[in-house]
Amino acid sequence: MKGSRTKLTPVTRRLVTEVYGRLDYEALGPVYCYEGGDEFWQAKRGPCDRLGSRVAVALKRKLGRGGRSLYVGAGVAELPTLIMETVEIGRTVEPYNLRRAEVAALNSACHSIPLTFRFADAASAKGRFDHLWIVSVLNDPERFPHLSPLSYGQSNPLTLDPLKFEKERRIVRALVAHCMGKLARPGLVTTTTEEVLWIAEWCHRHRVPYRVGKRSYPTALVGDPICFIHIGRADKRAG
């Protein structure tokens, strides 16, 4: 079926709704918030679907058929894009996540789709990808408590621990290097405006041209706006 450039196909829409309907929100409660899991998901489920689908439409316009996408830290918010790539444009997706309970809940909800989340470090992914998705990972306050406040411009010079910050920066740079090393050129990176600098730094160090798209897209859970970065060629297409 020839898909629309401005909408997801009815099949994708149906699958996205089905998967969001099947998710075990009780199991997901403690993964995303410590209290009030039910209320949290009642409020966030709709925005995840709606905003995620908007990004999925934008991504569909940028990706070719039949390539491979590496998703780092993919969770509930990524479902529309993962489903769109898999069922609508025939791509292979490899989503990685280090939260065991979330991976189990996602895989159980996705049993009717050829989509499997991996409980593993994305740096261990094998082969080449032409799309890297890394959204709200490099600035995650849970994993990088000393680096994250700087990313958000909220650091406190009185409490900053330079040694712990430096250790976290090394981990972030290594993860970026592992993932960017697997990206074909030209390639596409989907990330957030807060994380662009890490990708840009890698490109500068490796003398790889890149262009950050002008448009950004709001996200439902973390709230960091998503943007696209074209890697490896001076791409003139907007946004």
Ligand X SMILES: C[S@@+](CC[C@H](N)C(=O)[O-])C[C@H]1O[C@@H](n2cnc3c(N)ncnc32)[C@H](O)[C@@H]1O
Question: What tokens were used for 108?
Answer: 């159980």
Between residues 75 and 213, which has the closer beta carbon with respect to ligand X? 75
User: How far is it, in rounded angstroms, from Cα 210 to Cα 212?
Assistant: 7
Q: How far is the CB of 177 from ligand X (least distance, A)?
A: 12
The CB-nearest residue to ligand X is 73
Q: How far is the CB of 185 from ligand X (least distance, A)?
A: 22
Between residues 66 and 219, which has the closer beta carbon with respect to ligand X? 219
Q: How far is the CB of 233 from ligand X (least distance, A)?
A: 27
Question: What tokens were used for 220?
Answer: 């439902």
User: How far is it, in rounded angstroms, from Cα 208 to Cα 185?
Assistant: 9
Q: How far is the CB of 122 from ligand X (least distance, A)?
A: 4
Characterize 76-94 residue by residue with b for buried, 16 or more Cβ atoms within 10 angstroms of its Cβ, and e for exposed. bbbbbbbbbbbbbbebebb
Edge-to-edge strands, sheet with 68-72: 92-96, 68-72, 129-134, 183-192, 226-231, 210-212
Any bridge partners for residue 185, and if so which? none
Between residues 140 and 235, which has the closer beta carbon with respect to ligand X? 140
Residues near ligand X (CB under 6 A): 72-75, 77-78, 96-99, 121-123, 135-137, 140, 143, 175, 219, 221-222
Between residues 76 and 203, which has the closer beta carbon with respect to ligand X? 76
Q: How far is the CB of 208 from ligand X (least distance, A)?
A: 21
Please state the separation of Cα 183 from the chain's center in Å.
15
Between residues 135 and 183, which has the closer beta carbon with respect to ligand X? 135
